[in-house]
């Protein structure tokens, strides 16, 4: 029989699966370090930094289409 994790880990995994989508990205070697350094300077986690960058890009692109 496969060993089950701690109850708290199972609860967190269940919550995350119900409330979040997981997005996996691939980058060139060295990019993670650059992203981590930029996130650290912005006092953000890597995840928060990337999500903020994506949101900014979406907003910029939406504004371009509405201005045209």
Question: Has residue 5 got a pLDDT over 90?
Answer: no
Q: Model confidence over 24-50: pLDDT tens digits?
A: 999 999 999 999 999 999 999 999 999
Question: Has residue 52 got a pLDDT over 80?
Answer: yes
Q: Is residue 58 part of a domain?
A: yes
The confidence score (pLDDT) of residue 26 equals: 96
Cβ contact 47:55 at 8 Å: no
Handedness of CA 15, 17, 21, 26 (dihedral sign): positive
Q: Is residue 29 part of a domain?
A: no
Q: pTM for the complete prediction?
A: 0.75
Q: Is residue 57 part of a domain?
A: yes
Q: Is 29 helix (H, G, I), strand (E, B) or coil?
A: coil
Domain range spanning residue 63?
44-68
Q: Is residue 65 part of a domain?
A: yes
20 pLDDT band, cuts 50/70/90, is very high
């Amino acid at each position: 029989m496969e060993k089950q994790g701690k109850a708290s880990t199972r609860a967190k995994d269940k919550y995350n699966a119900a409330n979040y989508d997981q997005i996996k990205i691939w980058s060139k070697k060295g990019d993670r370090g650059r992203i981590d350094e930029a996130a650290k300077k912005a006092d953000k986690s890597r995840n928060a930094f990337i999500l903020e960058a994506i949101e900014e890009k979406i907003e910029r692109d939406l504004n371009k289409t509405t201005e045209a």
